[in-house]
Amino acid sequence: GVTIRESVTINRGTKAYGKTIVGDGALLMTGAHIAHDCIVGNNVIMANLATLGGHVEIGPWANIGGGVMVHQFVKIGTQSLIGGGFTAKQDVPPYIVVSGAPLRFVGINKIGLERRGFDSETRALIKKAYRTYFVSKFNRGQALDKIRKTMEQTEEIKKILNFIESSERGII
């Protein structure tokens, strides 16, 4: 089931899109708001006063910190964590921690990945991919090419590449 605490609001879907979906195991803490036509994945945690604009999509096991505002049409990747009190105006890729104003990459969600059973080798590969994308001096295209050509194409790496390449709002 879904745990819904006090003063949570969930808007129904619009006629154009049809529905708002909250996945199994989600925890919606006090005052959280989910606008129309959102898709909230299984086991997502939305802390107190986290707010989603319309058409937001959140992948499974993501964690949205207290007071976070997520702009309409933003996508949040699986197992990502957004630090409390910030605003997400662009897409947040899977498996990472973001914080600050504007949001920026802090690192991989090491604790979350450990809790979900990701082994150290997989975590190291995810970390290497994101260091190439966010920390290196490569531009977006060069970083994606390097990840594609020099790293083992595991399910996680493919998910990262697909998420970044399909982003319509841009990546944080």
Annotated catalytic residue, options 33, 36, 55, 71:
36
The torsion region of residue 164 among left (phi > 0), alpha (psi -120 to 50) and beta comes to: alpha
Sheet holding 45-46, edge to edge: 3-4, 27-28, 45-46, 63-64, 81-82, 96-99, 104-108
Nearest-angstrom CA–CA distance, 133 and 94: 13
Rounded distance between C-alpha atoms, residue 58 and residue 41, angstroms:
6
How far apart are alpha carbons 112 and 63 in whole angstroms?
Answer: 9
Which residues on neighbouring strands pair with residue 40, listed in sequence order? 22, 58
Tokens at 10, concatenated:
């969930």
Residues recorded for the chain:
172
36 carries an active-site annotation: yes
Name the residue type at position 108: I
Active site residues: 36
